[in-house]
Structure 1
Amino acid sequence: MTQPIPFQEIQAILFDMDGTLIDTDDEAVEKVARWLRPFLGERGNVLARWLVMKIESPANALITLADRLHLDEPLKWFTTWRQARRKEPFIANFHIIPGVLEMLHAIPGNYRLGIVTTRSRHQIEGFLAQIPDLAPRFEVTCGSQDTRRLKPHPSPIQEAARRFDLPESACVMVGDTSVDMHSARRAGAWRVGVLCGFGKEPELRRAGAQIILGSTADFADLLQ
Structure 2
Amino acid sequence: MFRIILVIIIAYLLYLIHKNIKSHSRPWPIIIASVILIFVGIGAGGNATTNASVEHRSASEVQQMKNKYLNEKESTSDLQKENSELSNQEQKEKSEKDKILIAYNQQKPQFQKENEQKQQQEKLAQEQKEQQEAQQKQQEEQQRQAAEAQQQQQEQQRRQQQNQTPAGQPQYSNDQQGQMVWVAPNSGKKYHYDKTCRGLRRANGNITQMTEQQAKSQGYSLCGFEGG
TM-score range with shorter-chain normalisation?
Answer: under 0.3
TM-score (norm 1): 0.14
Structure (1 or 2) with the larger CA radius of gyration: 2
| Structure with higher RCO (Cα < 8 A, 6+ apart) | 1
Structure with the larger helix share: 2
